[in-house]
Amino acid sequence: MISLFYAGALGFFGIVLSFLTVRQRFKTQISLGSGDSEELLSTQRAHGNFIEYALLFLALSFALEIIGQIPDLAVVIFGDVFILARISHAYTLIGGGNIIFRQMGILLSWLVILAQAIWAMFISGNWLISNNFGLNI
pTM value? 0.87
The C-alpha atoms of residue 49 and residue 131 are separated, in whole angstroms, by 38
What Rg do the C-alpha atoms of the chain give, in angstroms?
Answer: 18
What's the pLDDT tens digit per position in 94-125?
887 788 998 999 999 999 999 999 999 998 88
The C-alpha atoms of residue 62 and residue 125 are separated, in whole angstroms, by 18
Structural domains in the chain, sorted by start:
2-133 (1.20.120.550)
pLDDT at 13 over 80: yes
pLDDT at 6 over 90: yes
